[in-house]
Amino acid sequence: MDDVNASTTTVTNEENTNVFKRKSSDVGWEYGRLVDPNNKDKVRCNFCGHESTGGIFRFKQHIAQNASTVLKCAKATQEAKESCLKAMEKNAKKKEDKAARERQLRDDMIVSFGQQDEEMTCVGSSEPHKLGPMDKWALGTSY
């Protein structure tokens, strides 16, 4: 009977651990755990026990010690600091690249709002198709 109780206790502890550990590839989850499984913004530091309330990004700032608005972790290892800082820089670069691609795409788009001919044709059609008054109204074209 003691073996049954011991195995039940082990399963219960493993289940609790899995509930508070996020299934994410973010490096921050290596150094912290959820305080409440229903609130993903509250993370407890494995090093110092501090509870961060701003999600994993603010928690990584806590570990990396690079933000003035976040309590810095005094017990974090140098490896943890570097990996969190590197992850934040990588995410910032990714956002920057995405914004640059979107700006480039907008710059490449040529939108003309000038006069349009009475006979407009559908783009992509194999044969020309004259648009009727309802099509012109939907496109915002004035007569």
Residue ranges of domains in the chain: 1-88
In contact, 27 and 87? CB cutoff 8 Å: yes
pLDDT along the chain (143 residues), means of 10: 46 50 80 89 93 91 89 94 95 95 82 52 60 76 55
Q: Which phi-psi region, left, alpha or beta, contains residue 109 (left: φ > 0; alpha: ψ -120 to 50)?
A: beta
Q: Quick one: pLDDT at residue 40?
A: 86
Q: Quick one: pLDDT at residue 59?
A: 94
Q: Quick one: pLDDT at residue 142?
A: 56
DSSP helix, strand, coil percent of the chain (3-state; round to 5): 50, 10, 40
Q: Quick one: pLDDT at residue 107?
A: 80
In contact, 50 and 30? CB cutoff 8 Å: no
